[in-house]
Chains A and B, each alone.
Chain A
Amino acid sequence: MPRWEQHTAAARRSLFWNARMERMPRAELDALHLAKLRGLVAFVYERSPYYRRKFDERGLKPRHIATLDDYKRLVPLTDKQDFIRLQSERPPYGDTLALPFDLVAHHVETSGSTGLPLAIPLSAYDTERYGESWTYGFWAHGIRPEDSFYFAFNWGNFAGFWSCYYGARRMGCRVISGGGADSQGHIKNILRLKPTVLISTPTFALRLATVAKEMGVDLRDSSIRFTYHAGEPGPFALPAMKRQIDEAWGADSGELLGIAEIEAFAPGCPERDGVHVNEMNVFAWSMNPATGAEVGDGEVGENIITSYTNSAQPLLNYRSHDLVRSVGGCACGRTWRKLPGVVLGRTDFMVTVRGTNVYQTAVENLLGEHTGVSPFFQLVLEHADGNDRMTVEFEPDPAVARADWDALARAVGDRIHKALHVRLEVNPMAPGTLPRYDLKTKRIIDKRPKELRRELDR
């Protein structure tokens, strides 16, 4: 008797992890959202002292939420800083917990890249749901249960790829931890254990490629067929990054947008130019960060997210500070809202230089595409003579002769000027002098005095 396979032949042929839900008409999706949001609001009002207080301050009762507009308008915005403050007043979770303590099955944290880490309690069910967001992306990318995952990642409390691990388990893939290995160790592990999927931050994938080259290893001949990335702008945000990773690994790179405390909420689109909001797991809308009003379809706004996943520390109308352009409809057939280019910038790093709004990713894209510019660069923000100033510091590719650095810097400056209509100072730095990061590459060095930053930038 044949064994009971995980998927039938017809299921394997599906281009979707769950076609019915991923292609659900908008009106039906919205009706589902409303039902779920009303359930969530009742849940937090009853179980979370934090939300009960916030609602009571406004005289808001769960029964007041009758439409999606009510939800967006009436349910107060939440922000990371509130949660960090409450947690530090009464560690570990303050009164943000909505479940009894004994149901917290996994404690993770944010990376703390913008200060104190945020503690993220997850129930066992939360971890499974969180992982499912990755699985939608894996399946769409062509990854199947017989694939195996290599995590080039040091496992700590950082939420990062834990959720990815939950997702790989859901799909039933072999998983291999690269915890504790250095770059050379990762390369050796990959050659020895023959995984087919690499999981890492995008810049770390490039760094591994550089190290492999030094070791005389051509990764295009390795077992890796897919790479999948999160944590910083990746292949679906930056076309240059996509090209570099694909070429270095001889594989198809993919990307997912997640926010540690929320969800791995936006798996990649097979068109490879953006991500889709997982509308089974979260509800998202876009807001003008200055006025608080909802922005229209296709306009840039701050992504405001509500998670159905995290029942231990629910997040409602949570400010992501990510600027996105959310559109309906996609050539891939998904109805889930798409974010072309993933995150276009941060509300905190949309700086105005000489009257022009400059988004970090726009500059990154231009640098990444420029011949002779290595993946190591940073943008330094300063305040001088009453104006914000952005300086680009980059390491030229080691192949570029020292005598050509200044001409290269001028060419980069001209390119930025032409594309973004702003002239930035561009300085070449000696190769190896800019900092390297295993996680979360820091592209912005903000040296502006706090009091001179706009309210959103503080």
Chain B
Amino acid sequence: MLKPAEMIARLRRARRLVHEIHVGTDIPQIQSILRHADQNLHWALWNLGEIDELRPDLPGSVKPAARAKPKPGARKRAKKR
């Protein structure tokens, strides 16, 4: 079984993919379906206690992929903030 953190990482990746296809097509039907899919992915994240924003269409909702592992020092700084 996947751990919650693993589920969350995959759901976030799925949202990025969905978003990528949405902006990469001009077929209205496919765009509508993808928007629905993203809503459901957002809802899955919400029900894993991961998300606190009300709607998937708010600016910045689809998070960019995390970069390579942050250096230990960088992580500490981020926490302090």
Contacts and interface: CB of A to CB of B under 8 A. Distances in A.
B54 A308 contact: yes
B56 A39 contact: no
A128 interface: yes
A66 interface: no
Most chain B CB atoms below 10 A, which of A39, A40, A124: A39
A21 interface: yes
Contacts of A36: 52
B22 to A, nearest CB: 16
A132 B4 CA distance: 20
Interface of B: 4, 36, 39-40, 42-43, 46-49, 52-56, 58
A352 to B, nearest CB: 42
A43 B54 contact: yes
Given A124-B39, A125-B39, A128-B39, A39 B47 contact: no
A21 B52 contact: no
B4 A20 contact: yes
A40 B39 CA distance: 18
Interface in A7-21: 18, 20-21
Interface residues of A, number: 21
A39 B53 contact: yes
A309 to B, nearest CB: 9
A200 interface: no
B43 A128 contact: yes
Contacts of A39: 52-54
14 contacts: A18-B47, A20-B49, A24-B49, A32-B52, A35-B52, A36-B52, A39-B52, A39-B54, A40-B54, A43-B54, A43-B58, A125-B56, A132-B43, A280-B47
A311 interface: yes
Interface string A37-50: 01110010000000
A129 B45 CA distance: 13
A27 to B, nearest CB: 13
A35 B53 CA distance: 9
Contacts of B49: 20-21, 24, 28, 32
B48 A20 contact: yes
Contacts of B48: 20-21
B interface majority secondary structure: loop
Nearest to B53: A39
A36 B40 CA distance: 18
B26 to A, nearest CB: 20
Nearest to A310: B54
A123 B53 CA distance: 15
A116 to B, nearest CB: 28
Interface string A296-336: 00000000000010010000000000000000000000000
Contacts of A129: 43
A38 B56 contact: no
Nearest to A33: B52
Given A24-B49, A125-B43, 4 more contacts: A18-B47, A36-B52, A125-B39, A128-B39
A45 to B, nearest CB: 12
Interface in A263-283: 280
In order of increasing CB-CB distance, the 9 nearest A-B pairs are A35-B52, A39-B52, A36-B52, A311-B54, A125-B39, A43-B54, A39-B53, A32-B49, A311-B55
Contacts of A20: 4, 48-49
Nearest to A17: B47
A125 B52 contact: no
Contact of B46 (A28, A38, A280): A280
Nearest to A123: B55
Contacts of B54: 39-40, 43, 308, 311
B24 to A, nearest CB: 23
Most chain A CB atoms below 10 A, which of B52, B54, B56: B54
A382 to B, nearest CB: 46
